[in-house]
Amino acid sequence: MADISNDHLHPLHCEVCQTLMYATDDQVGTQLKCPDCGHLNLARPRPAKRPPPRVMVDDGDEYQLDETHVPPPTPVLTSIESREAEGRAAARARMGVRALEPDPFDDDVEEPAAQPAAKPASRSRPANAPAANSPAPRPAAAPSQSARKKPQRSRHRPAVPVVQGVFSMIFSAEVMVRWVALSLTLTGLLFLLASAVNAMGTQALYLLPFYAGGCIVAGFWMISAAPLFVAIITESSGGADELHDPPGWMALDYAETGFIIIATMLSALPGWLATKAAVGIPDEQRFALAAAIWLIVFPFIVLSALEQGSMFAIFSPRIAASVVRCFIPWATFYIVSALAVAAAGGVTYFLLSQANLLALFPIPWLAVALVLLYMRLIGRLGWWIADAMPPPAEAPKE
């Protein structure tokens, strides 16, 4: 096999024109003539190849870690909830309180944190006896709200939920603050609208801004109040006794606002048609008839829309079936709501009959309180129906 290496060739550059030439082993030490310029150049052997540098390091020559300057181990990051749970568990162990047992009625309770290993008891006293200088063991505390993933739900539904436990949410701090804010806004709104309506002659032109401002305030009042009404209904239907996820003050949630507005308008339509048909009765009785029909239709429409998750789904077969299967809950709800409306109407009539302008001030506050109570009753009715009705049939799997 022929040698194809070029070790026998020695590169040579012309000293004048830098032309590259190659000399063989036999020509090393002789004068070679440049083919371009004719200059004679001395041919020298190529430089010897150097051995490649070593990449590997001999054993023992590599960098060593100084054991006296070893960095501390990186701490393992844990969540705040885990550290709080461990702290509570350690405090209970020091005080002799037994570990919390999981709630068999609630699947959303987190697993209790692992208890630290208890110190061995002294042989001079029984293992279950408290120390001489330690306080007496306390009874096991109920699970705190921070140890739950979701808002706490009532464990057992009362026998008549539209009567029992209704005011627990109404008198909660969140609802009371919203009641005060909505009542103040409604009072100012009625003042603006009344000033514009009662204006006479040319004075009405000056009070048109009051009327326009009242309409704007009314729109913002509804946008702020409707999500609160929906939240009260939905959380009450889940058995909650307070608003765990209250909406924003001005969240501008038009979807939740649409649930209340559409249900209110569609519920008022049968009452308006009834007043048109009953033309031979006094106006007060016609108004009472329209209000009664509204109170009957509104819960059905709003529960149907919320049950199906659409503001336009005004009819739910499951809610319609509950009217027959759950007649007692519906009848109880209508009786309680009618008594509440009658009581509020009696107080309002008494205030209107007084010849004092200050007597009209409590009417907006009473109206907002009545609406909040009515939404609470609708939510409790939904909770009663959900427990009494069979679960909806699931769609067959393909």
In a domain, 127, yes or no: no
Average pLDDT over residues 299-315: 85
Contact in structure between 158 and 165 (CB atoms under 8 Å) = yes
The neighbouring-strand residues paired with 109 are 148
Digit-coded pLDDT (tens) for 348-385? 888 888 767 777 788 889 989 999 999 999 999 988 88
Enclosing H/E stretch for 175? helix 173-197
Task: Report the alpha-carbon distance of residue 346 to residue 341 in Å, rounded.
Answer: 8
Structure tokens at 126: 């029984």
In a domain, 117, yes or no: no
Average pLDDT over residues 120-149: 39
State yes or no: pLDDT of 6 exceeds 90: no
State yes or no: pLDDT of 112 exceeds 60: no
Residue in the block written with tokens 């209340």: 260
Average pLDDT over residues 269-291: 81
Task: Report the alpha-carbon distance of residue 253 to residue 267 in Å, rounded.
Answer: 22
DSSP-derived letter for residue 156 is S
Contact in structure between 101 and 141 (CB atoms under 8 Å) = no
Pairing of strands 31-33, 20-23: unpaired
State yes or no: pLDDT of 128 exceeds 80: no
In a domain, 349, yes or no: yes
Structure tokens at 104: 């068999």
Judge residue 365's burial from the number of C-beta atoms within 10 Å of its C-beta, 0-12 exposed, 13-18 middle, 19 or more buried.
Answer: middle
In a domain, 65, yes or no: no
pTM over 0.85: no
Task: Report the alpha-carbon distance of residue 388 to residue 333 in Å, rounded.
Answer: 14
* Domain span at 181: 167-240+248-388
| pLDDT value of position 49 | 78
State yes or no: pLDDT of 113 exceeds 90: no
Average pLDDT over residues 279-297: 82
Average pLDDT over residues 74-100: 72
365 closest CA partner among 234, 223, 163, 181: 181
In a domain, 282, yes or no: yes
In a domain, 102, yes or no: no
| pLDDT value of position 387 | 83
Residue 41, SS3 per DSSP: strand
The neighbouring-strand residues paired with 20 are 13
Residue in the block written with tokens 């001030």: 361
State yes or no: pLDDT of 88 exceeds 90: no
Contact in structure between 228 and 177 (CB atoms under 8 Å) = no
Sequence-ordered strand ranges (E) for 244-352: none
Task: Report the alpha-carbon distance of residue 278 to residue 253 in Å, rounded.
Answer: 38
- Local confidence band at 336 (pLDDT 50, 70, 90 cut-offs): very high
Task: Report the alpha-carbon distance of residue 354 to residue 357 in Å, rounded.
Answer: 8
In a domain, 2, yes or no: no
Enclosing H/E stretch for 42? strand 40-42
Structure tokens at 196: 């514009």
If one counts the domains in the chain, the total is 1
